[in-house]
Amino acid sequence: MAVIFKDKTVFLYALLILCVLCLTACSVISIPYKVGKGTLKASYEVTETVTKGAFGTLKIAYKIGGFTFNVATAPLDWPLTRDGLETIDGLPPKEAIKQGRVKNSPYVVNGKRYVPMSITEASAYNEMGIASWYGYETRNQRGGHMTANGEAFDPEGLNAAHKYLPLPYHVKVTNLENGKSIILRVNDRGPFVGGRIIDLSAGAAKKLGYYNKGTARVLVESIPVEG
């Protein structure tokens, strides 16, 4: 049965509602993943749901080994978490992010060039060293901040910064001082302080029990994800 709209405003409003409903219904994609048996000698079931948001952004929610990850792309006008990030793959950082040229591309921070690992190299990665944390320096600033791969930085999320791992990547981090372990999504670059191998979000540092202390000796183990 045809519906006739005499009021143009009502018609446009109804059309907008239909578009929103269609977007909501059609843009959710469930993708199964298996996590390879890397250095952890174990496997994890991974499920991912991708939802398209406004203005071309994406919101992703997935689980690995009981840990839930919420990921969102950041607007390009948000500042980067690292002020000293000069180039990625020879391009201005945001242009490289826009072109999807970040994953393991060389980058420059404060005049120093860093060359990330290949996927093959990363799959065998494990290292002991000092972990620090970052996050609340952005809390009182307007808007949000963008990680080095274009994600919205969440100081309470299960995320981390690493100088050499591909972005994004997943690792298991164990606090060797208390035995606590969590799985994290590496989505940023850093830390660029001597003697530290990984920078966790404030929320992750709380879960590992070293937030108040500031640093901890940890073991970082690769979790290769095979799509």
DSSP string covering 76-123, please?
A: TTSPBS-TTEEEETTB-HHHHHHTT--TT--EEETTEEE-PPPHHHHH
Q: For residue 168, is the peptide bond before it cis, meaning its omega torsion is within 30 degrees of 0?
A: yes
- Give the separation between CA 65 and CA 172, rounded to whole angstroms: 10
146 located within any domain: yes
User: Residue 93, CB half-sphere, CA atoms under 13 Å: how many?
Assistant: 22
153 located within any domain: yes
22 located within any domain: no
Q: How many domains, in total, are found in the chain?
A: 1
pLDDT of residue 132: 97
pTM: predicted TM-score of the whole model, two decimal places: 0.77
Tell how many helices (H) and how many strands (E) occur in the chain: 4, 14
* CA 48, 42, 202, 198 torsion-angle sign: negative
164 located within any domain: yes
30 located within any domain: no
Strand partners, 68: 63
pLDDT of residue 164: 98
- Give the separation between CA 58 and CA 156, rounded to whole angstroms: 19
pLDDT of residue 41: 32
Q: What is the CATH number of the domain that holds 119?
A: 2.40.40.10
- CB count within 10 Å of CB 200 equals 29
Distances (CA, A) of 11 to 20, 23, 58: 14, 18, 29
Which among 53, 47, 83 has a CA at the least distance from the CA of 65? 47
107-109/225-226 β-pairing:
unpaired
13 located within any domain: no
5 located within any domain: no
pLDDT of residue 58: 65
Cβ-in-10-Å burial (0-12, 13-18, 19+) of 212 comes to: exposed
4 located within any domain: no
Instruction: Determine phi and psi for 137, rounding to 5 degrees.
Output: -65, -15
- Per-residue confidence of the chain (227 residues) as pLDDT tens digits? 444 445 554 444 444 444 433 433 332 223 333 333 333 333 455 555 555 554 345 677 888 888 989 888 898 999 999 889 999 999 999 999 999 999 999 999 999 999 999 999 999 999 999 999 998 665 555 678 999 999 999 999 999 999 999 999 999 999 999 999 999 999 999 999 999 999 999 999 999 999 999 999 999 999 976 43
Measure the N-to-C terminal CA separation of the chain; round to a whole number of Å. Answer: 45
Cβ-in-10-Å burial (0-12, 13-18, 19+) of 97 comes to: buried
Domain holding 132, by residue range, is: 85-226
